[in-house]
A and B are shown apart, each in its own frame.
Chain A
Amino acid sequence: MKTATRSHSEADFYRQDIPKMLRPSRPAPLATLLWALGILTCGTLLGIASAYLVIERDRPLQTVRIGAWEMDPTAGTEEADPYSIAIHSRGASVPLASGEGQALIARTDSSGRLLDPSCTYILSGETPAARLWTLTSTDRRGRLAETIAGRTHLSSRALLRRQDGSFEITASPRPASGNWLPLASRPQDMDGLMFKLRLYDAPVTTGAALSNAAMPVISRRSCP
Chain B
Amino acid sequence: MTLSTRMSLALGLLAVLMLAAIVHILVIFSIPGSVTHTAFSDAAAFGPDSRFNVLPDILPGREPLPDLDPAMSHAVCRFHLDEGPVRFTATIPAPFWSMGLFDASGQTIYSLNNRTAGSDTLSLLLLSPSQLSILRQNPPEDLDDLIVIETEQTEGLALLRAYLSHPVQKSELRSALNSAQCAQMDPRNQTGN
Contact = CB atoms under 8 A, between A and B. Distances in A.
Interface of A: 20-25, 35, 38-40, 42-44, 46-48, 50-52, 54-55, 76-78, 80, 82-83, 85-86, 88-101, 131-132, 134, 136, 142-147, 151-153, 155, 157, 198, 200-201
B70 A38 contact: no
Nearest to A35: B12
Q: Which of A24, A88, A134 has the most chain B CB within a 10 Å cutoff?
A: A88
Interface string B68-111: 11111000000000000000000000011011101001111011
Contacts of A38: 12
B168 interface: no
B107 A77 contact: yes
Interface of B: 1-4, 8, 12, 15-24, 26-29, 31-32, 35, 37-39, 41-42, 58-61, 63, 65-72, 95-96, 98-100, 102, 105-108, 110-113, 115-116, 157, 159, 161, 163, 165
B20 A46 contact: yes
B162 to A, nearest CB: 11
A51 B1 contact: no
A191 B41 CA distance: 27
B108 A101 contact: no
A88 B42 CA distance: 14
Q: Which of B20, B32, B63 has the most chain A CB within a 10 Å cutoff?
A: B20
Q: Which of B8, B42, B65, B66 has the most chain A CB within a 10 Å cutoff?
A: B66
A44 B23 contact: yes
Contacts of A151: 70
A86 B161 contact: no
B67 A93 contact: yes
B107 A76 contact: yes
Q: Which of B1, B69, B71, B99 has the most chain A CB within a 10 Å cutoff?
A: B71
Nearest to A77: B108
Nearest to B72: A134
A89 B12 contact: no
Given A20-B2, A92-B39, A201-B115, A44 B19 contact: yes
